Amino acid sequence: MVDTQKVPHSQEPDTGVSPHCDLVTVPARQGLEAVDLLRFSPGGVGPVLHDRTGDSLAFLVPSGTADAWDVPGSSCVCRTEEGEAPGAGWLVPPHTDTEVTDPAVLEAALGEAARMLRLVDSCQRSGADGATADPADPAVTAGGASEGGTDGAGAGAGPVDR
């Protein structure tokens, strides 16, 4: 987990990252999805820290965000001016375009990331249970379903009118 008491101000001198901001910490998998979403959002993504162990990411957000932050699966704390934290580094280094991530935009991106990950996990579990057809399986027909399997509409689906 990112040590929220000591975070790097930058790996480059004089980047202008304000020490007066808060940190939203999330599991790395959800955070990486959110970073991808934020890169394409109008507000962009501000600096993001990683813990180098692959466990969590921390988004820099405006000071005061911690007072109202209530997003399940994440935490938000005030950042201090203690300097570089051992084991923490920049995933998204500070830059001049976006000093911090907008908390409302981050909350939306984290929600979307969580939904995408649940969907991916659900699909992977279905595949592990043998619910999906393997295209390399010779039993797979031209219609895309294996003999005795479903037609892709789900288990128990009725016949399809053609």
In a domain, 162, yes or no: no
Of 42-51, 59-68, 127-136, 143-152, the poorest mean pLDDT is in 143-152
In a domain, 133, yes or no: no
In a domain, 139, yes or no: no
- The pLDDT mean for the chain works out to 75
Q: What residues contact 1, with CB distance under 8 A and at least 6 apart? A: 25, 51, 55, 56
Give the Å distances, CA to CA, from 37 to 29, 31, 138.
Answer: 13, 10, 38
Beta-bridge partner residues of 75: 25
Does residue 74 carry a pLDDT above 70? yes
Domain holding 62, by residue range, is: 21-123
- Give the residue among 70, 34, 37 at the shortest CA–CA distance from 50: 34
In a domain, 38, yes or no: yes
Does residue 159 carry a pLDDT above 70? no
User: How much is the pLDDT for 14?
Assistant: 41
When pLDDT is cut at 50, 70 and 90, the band that residue 62 belongs to is: very high
Does residue 64 carry a pLDDT above 50? yes
In a domain, 1, yes or no: no
CB-based burial label for 49 (10 Å; 0-12, 13-18, 19+): buried
In a domain, 110, yes or no: yes
Question: What is the percentage of the chain residues whose pLDDT exceeds 70?
Answer: 61
When pLDDT is cut at 50, 70 and 90, the band that residue 82 belongs to is: very low
Give the Å distances, CA to CA, from 132 to 63, 138, 160.
Answer: 47, 14, 18
Number of domains within the chain: 1
The letter for the amino acid at 5 is Q
In a domain, 107, yes or no: yes
In a domain, 46, yes or no: yes
User: How much is the pLDDT for 79?
Assistant: 75
